[in-house]
Structure 1
Amino acid sequence: MLLKVRMDTAASNEAIKQGALLRILEDTLQEVGAESAYFTVEDGCRTCYVFFDLADAAQMPKISRPFFMELGAKVYYVPVMNVEELHQGISAITPV
């Protein structure tokens, strides 16, 4: 799964001042068992991309909560495949 978090600038600035931003990010990365995480700016907003294995969609509200509540973020979930999964998926396609 790709978790994309686009943070509100004012809310994330305040979280930095309060020492909460890194805590929120580190807690989330640990909670989801992130395979990798990347941080950048998108459309002028602090943005992070977290890749992890989402075992149960029911986890999404809990994972999203600190981003919504503390960072005023927009949160997106996008299913993704690694190379091994891509090979399995393409192998399962019956030729037309």
Structure 2
Amino acid sequence: MRVLLKATLDTEKANEAIRSGKMPELMKEILDHLKPEAAYFGPLGGRRTAFLVLDMKDSSDLPPTGEPFFTQFNAEVEVTPVMNGEDLQNGLAKLR
């Protein structure tokens, strides 16, 4: 199932990672591990936030998906089911 993961990073933990020079390495490790279809980054509510679109094969994939953000950045993590245009069309066709 396609999901949108929103990870809002703790400012102090992210500042530490930036000051130490580890932020690029940590983010690369997370992205290499999760292999998102798309990844976007920006401020949300004044905090650094990552938005990743992932294909989650099984609900048991949830712990290893969010854990890197929890452990590395003390992040608030939300996972929401999402669809692309093709998924939406297929779902709407099932309503008939």
Q: TM-score, normalised by structure 2?
A: 0.89
CA RMSD for the aligned pairs?
Answer: 1.2
Q: Deviations over 1:45-73 (max 9, x none)?
A: 00010011111121211121221112110
Count of aligned pairs between the two proteins: 94
Equivalent residue, structure 1, for 2:40: 38
Which 5+ residue runs of structure 2 have no aligned equivalent? none
Q: 2:20 aligns with which of 18, 21, 41?
A: 18
1:52 counterpart SS class: strand
Distance 2:7 2:76 in 1: 6
> Normalized per residue, which structure has more strand?
2
Identical pairs, percent: 35
Q: 2:30 aligns with which of 21, 28, 38?
A: 28
Instruction: After TM superposition, give the deviation of residue 14 of structure 1 in Å.
Output: 0.4
Whether the aligned pair in 2 keeps the contact of 1:32 and 1:54 (CA below 8 Å) is no
Which 5+ residue runs of structure 1 have no aligned equivalent? none
Distance 1:45 1:30 in 2: 23
